[in-house]
Amino acid sequence: MSKETAIIVLGLWVVILPYLGIPGGWRTTLLILSGIALMVLGFLLRGDALSRGSLAKEHRGRNSYVENTASITQDYSTHDHKEGITSLN
């Protein structure tokens, strides 16, 4: 069974578990174990995605300093300078 399928099955299990008539202590234990299993599968899926590079590319594009480098290399010689009184003087 793939990790994605296991997450879907565990999600369905968590949805129907309260309606099965299981005593409260057992139900709580089963819900906690199901939640832990979902967390482990989520971490494993995230690790797989990072190793494939799909999330690594996304994180690489978030560097805030990359945007600031464009303003430093801007060529100001192409702008026309107008003499007179303007709001930009």
Query: Among 35, 1, 40, 43, which residue's Cα sits nearest to residue 17?
Result: 35
Q: Is the pLDDT of residue 72 over 80?
A: no
Is residue 12 assigned to a domain? no
Average pLDDT score over the chain:
77
Q: Is residue 68 part of a domain?
A: no
Residue 82 has pLDDT above 90, yes or no: no
d(C-alpha 51, C-alpha 47), whole Å: 6
pLDDT for the residue 84: 59
How does pLDDT run across 13-46, given as a tens digit for each residue?
A: 999 999 999 999 999 999 999 999 999 999 999 9
- Under 8 Å between Cβ of 30 and 17: yes
Residue 37 placed within a domain: yes
Residue 56 falls inside a structural domain? yes
Residue at 51 is within a domain: yes
In a domain, 36, yes or no: yes
pTM to 2 decimals? 0.56
Look up the domain containing 28 and give its range. Answer: 24-60
Q: Is residue 34 part of a domain?
A: yes
